[in-house]
Chain A
Amino acid sequence: MDEKFTLALPSKGAIAEPTYSFLKEAGLKISKPNPRQYTGNIRAIPRLDVLFQRVKDVLYKVADGTAHVGVTGLDVVEEYGDDEVVVIHPALGYGHCDLMVAVPETWIDVETMTDLVDVALDFREEKRRNLRVATTYTRLTRRFLHANGIHHFKIVEAEGAIEAAPTIGYADIVVDLSQTGTTLRENHLRPIPDGIITRSQACLIGNRRALQSDQTLLDTVRVLLEHIDAALQGRDYSQLTINIQGESAAGIAERIAANPTTAGLLGPTIAPIYGAGDDGGRGWFTATVTINKRHLLTAVEHLREIGGSQIVVQPVNYVFLQESPTYKALIEALAI
C-alpha cells in the first residue's frame, strides 16, 4: 500500500464551508462518504486523506504530526502555533477577519492606542487595579499591548460572548475577531483604528519535520499547491478573444502588445479567420490574450482603439505558471 498522508480541514466554524468551496474550485472536491465520520478524501489526490477537525484542532493535529497539512485561520496559527508548524500558504483569499482592540463606545476620550496607555495608567493610579482585557487570544494580546506601551493589564480569558464582557462587567475592554465590526457595535463597543493586532484569513499549514524528512509527502504537497496556486492565479485573470483586421499576424501582435495591460502572460496568440463573409475572412484574425482582471476596462479600450471588435471575455479557471510559486517558497522556508 502506498504511503498516505492526512490533510486536516475545519469541520465547523466560519471557514469550514468556504474551505470546501475553495478546494472544489481548485479542482479538489472533498468527498465525505459518511457524514457522521470525521474523515473524507479527495479524488484528485488519492494519497491525501482528509480529517475534519475544529480550526484550533487542525493546528494541534498538524503540530503533533497526526495530520501532515491543514487549513486553518492565520489568527489561530499566530496565537497557538509553534516551531513545528510551517505556514505553507498564508493567504488563501477567504475567511478574512481582523483581531482588534475594542473599547466601550462611551469611552469618547479613547481614540488611539496612546489614549489607552493613558487610561491603563489611570486604572492603576486611581482605581488601584489593572485594566481588564477579555479575550481568547492571550498570546497575541499580551504581545500587542506590551508593544504598544501597555504593561499593566489583566487578561480575562473567556470562551464565547467576549463582546458582552464590558457590559456584564467582568472586563473593561475586549480583544476579539471581527469581520465587519457589526457584533462589536451591537454590543456598544468601538474598535480602535490603530488597535488591529492581526489581519487574518484562511491559510495552509504543514508539519515542518514531516515536510523536511519525507519526499513523497513533499511531492503530494506540490500537487496540492499546483491546484491552489493555479486556482488563485486564475481568479486574477480573464481571457479575451477579439477579432481584428490587419496585414499580418506579427503586425497585429505588435499592436496588441504595445499596451502593457494587453501584453498577456507571454504575448497574444493570433490565428487567421477563414470566414464566409464577402472577402472570405481575408485580412481578419482572431487574437487570444490572458490579462489581469484589474486592467480589464483599460485593456478593452486599447483593443478597441487598435481596431478590435467582438471582444469576448471569459473567466480563467486555472493559470499554471512554470512552477508553483508557493511550492518554491516552501522549499526555501524548509531550508532543504
Chain B
Amino acid sequence: MQRPSNTLPYDDAQSLQNFANLLTGHMAYYGYELIEMPIIEDADLFLTKAGDNVAERLFTFERNGHVLTLRPEFTAAAAHRYITGDQTGAARWQFKGAIFADYPDDKDRHSQRYSVGAELIGMAGAMAEAEIIAMAVRGIEQAGITDWQLVIGHVGLTRQLLARYGLDPRTQRHILSARNDLKRGDDDAKAALMARLDQYLWQTPQQADDDAITQTGTQSMLDVLLNTSRASATMGGRTRHDIARRLLRKRQQAAQKHQIDDALHFLQRWMAINAPVDAGIATIKQEIGDDQHGSVIFAEWLTMLDLLSAAGIDRQRIVIQPDLARTWDYYTGVVFDLRGADGVTLAGGGRYDELPRLIGAENDVPAVGFAYRMEAIIAGAGNLADDQPVHRLLYDDATGADAMRWAMALRGHGVHLILTPERDDSPFMRVDESGAIHHDGQTFTLTQIDTLAEILDGS
C-alpha cells in the first residue's frame, strides 16, 4: 500500500504534544478555554470569505450532495460557533489539532499540519489586540525561542487610505490581491498588473459600441446588443439584466484610470514602509495627512502599541510594516506576524471583524485571533524534553500479580510507570516474593507507597 506522502511532518509526536501542551497551558493563564472543533466541516464555511489561497487548498469531498471539507484552520469555525451559540460578551477560546491543506501538485508540502491557536471574539478595541499579541509573544518565549521579531501591519488603515482614490471595491480588490507581485518591486510586476487591469477595466467589449453603452436603460441597451434570437438563447445562470449591469459597471470603472495610477503610486510608497516603530509611525502620519477616518484608525493603532509596551513587549523588537497581510479577504484591522531568527513565521494573526457577518451574523462582530506554526516553533526551539520520567517495574511469573497491584497503585499516586519482563541496562524497580518493592537499594511495602511515590516523582 502506498501511503500519501508527507501527511504529517513530525517525527517526534511526543515533542509536538509537549509544545502543544505548553502553549495551551500558557494560554490558559489568559483565560482561554480549550475548545474541541469538528475536523469535518461544511466547505462553505471556509469558502465564504476565505483567502484565495485557502479556497484553492481545501480538502473537499461530497456526501449526499453536500460539499464537506477537512478544516484548513480554526478561525472561521470559531466565528461560526460564536454567532450560532448562546455566547454573550467576549469569548476566549483556544484550539489545537490537525489542519489540512491540499497540495496535489507539490509532494514536498505537508497536507496535514498541527495547529495551536486562539480567538478572542466579541471584544473590540486595542486592548483585545494587545492581549492576543502579547499572549502570542510570551508563548513563543515559553517555548524557548528568545530571538524573535514582531511585525505589525494594519489592513483597515491600508484599505482606508486606498479608498481615498475612489476606486470601486472590485478594482481595489484586484490591486490588493496583486500586492505581492507588486512588492517584488520589479517593473515587470507593475507592468503585468497594469496590463491585467487594462484588460479588465478599459477594454470595451467588441460587440458593444459606445452608443449602445451610453444608453442608460439596461433593457434597451440589451435589446440593441442582443438580437432577439440570441437573447432567447443560452444564458447560463445570468439574466440580461446581470449582463447589462456589468457592462455599465465596466464602463464606469474605465473612468478610474488616472485614479488607479495615483493609487498604485501610493501603494508602492506604502508597501515600502518597513521600519522600527518611531520611524514607521512618522512615515505613516505623513501618508495619512488630513484624512480624518485614517487618523482615527491610526490613533487606535498607537494606543495598541502603547499597550504592548505596558505588556512588556520590547519596542525595539517591533517592526512596522503597514501593508502586512496574508489575505485581503479576511482581515480588517491590526495584523501581525511573529518571526524567528531566520525570518520564518512562528505565529500570525489579526483582527477580522467582518467575517462573522459574512458567515451569518446580523452585524460585524469584533474578533481577533492568531495561530502558532508548530513546525516552525519545533524547528526553532528544538525538542522539548518530557519532564515526566517513566519508571520501569520488572515482573516475572512469580511476581506478576504483585507487580500489577503496585503498578496500579503507583499510577494512582501520579507516578508514570511501565511493567516489563525485560531486564536491561536502564534502571528498574522489582517486586520480591513477599510483595515488597525494591527501588534504588531500598525496600518499600504497600503501606509506604506515599514515600515511594514522592521519591519517584522527584527522581
Measured CB to CB, the residues of A under 8 A from B are: 103-109, 111-112, 114-115, 117-119, 121-123, 126-127, 129-132, 139, 143, 146, 149, 151-152, 154, 166-167, 169, 171-173, 187-189
Contacts and interface: CB of A to CB of B under 8 A. Distances in A.
B196 interface: yes
A272 B362 CA distance: 97
B67 to A, nearest CB: 8
Nearest to A119: B246
Given A114-B200, A126-B242, A127-B237, A108 B105 contact: no
Contact of B55 (A104, A115, A122, A152): A152
Contact of B236 (A109, A130, A152, A171): A171
Contacts of A188: 230, 233-234
B170 A105 contact: no
B275 interface: no
16 contacts: A104-B236, A106-B231, A108-B225, A109-B246, A111-B205, A111-B206, A112-B199, A122-B246, A130-B47, A143-B105, A149-B177, A151-B56, A166-B235, A172-B237, A172-B238, A188-B233
A118 B52 contact: no
A118 B56 contact: no
A251 to B, nearest CB: 54
A102 to B, nearest CB: 10
B418 interface: no
B233 A167 contact: yes
A105 B243 contact: no
A239 to B, nearest CB: 46
A122 B52 CA distance: 16
Interface string B217-254: 00000000110001101111110101100110010000
A103 B246 CA distance: 15
A234 B271 CA distance: 58
Nearest to B105: A143
Given A123-B237, A131-B237, A152-B55, 4 more contacts: A106-B240, A146-B55, A149-B177, A172-B238
Contacts of B226: 106, 108
Interface string B156-176: 000000000000001001000
* Ranked 4 nearest A-B pairs via Cβ: A172-B236, A151-B55, A188-B234, A104-B234
B181 to A, nearest CB: 12
Contact of A106 (B47, B105, B200, B243): B243
B203 interface: yes
B234 A167 contact: yes
A151 B238 CA distance: 19
B191 interface: no
DSSP majority for the B interface? helix
B247 A109 contact: yes
Interface string B48-62: 000010011000000
Output the residue of B105, B226, B233, B238 with the most chain A CB within 10 A. B238
Contacts of B250: 109
Output the residue of A114, A121, A131, A146 with the most chain B CB within 10 A. A114
Q: How large is the interface on B (under 10, 10 to 19, 20 to 34, 35 or more residues)?
A: 20 to 34
Contacts of B401: none
A211 to B, nearest CB: 19
A115 B247 CA distance: 11
B156 to A, nearest CB: 21
A104 B56 CA distance: 25
A106 B199 contact: no
A40 B104 CA distance: 37
A105 B205 contact: no
B330 to A, nearest CB: 13
Contacts of B243: 106-109
B234 A108 contact: no
B247 A105 contact: no
Contacts of B225: 108
A118 B250 CA distance: 10
A10 B205 CA distance: 42
A143 B103 CA distance: 11
A118 B235 contact: no
A146 to B, nearest CB: 4
A93 B399 CA distance: 80
Output the residue of A119, A139, A143, A151 with the most chain B CB within 10 A. A151
A104 B205 CA distance: 15
Contact of B242 (A105, A114, A122): A122
A177 to B, nearest CB: 19
B235 A106 contact: yes
B246 A104 contact: no
Nearest to B236: A172
B57 to A, nearest CB: 9
Contacts of A117: 200
Interface in B105-144: 105
Interface in B192-228: 196, 199-200, 203, 205-208, 225-226
B247 A108 contact: yes
Contacts of A171: 236
A115 B231 CA distance: 20
Given A126-B242, A149-B52, A151-B52, A189 B234 contact: yes
Contacts of B200: 112, 114-115, 117-118
A329 B186 CA distance: 37
Interface in B54-81: 55-56, 67
A112 B237 contact: no
A121 B206 CA distance: 22
A121 B47 CA distance: 12
Given A152-B47, A166-B234, A108 B205 contact: yes
Nearest to A112: B199
A106 B56 contact: no
A188 B232 CA distance: 11
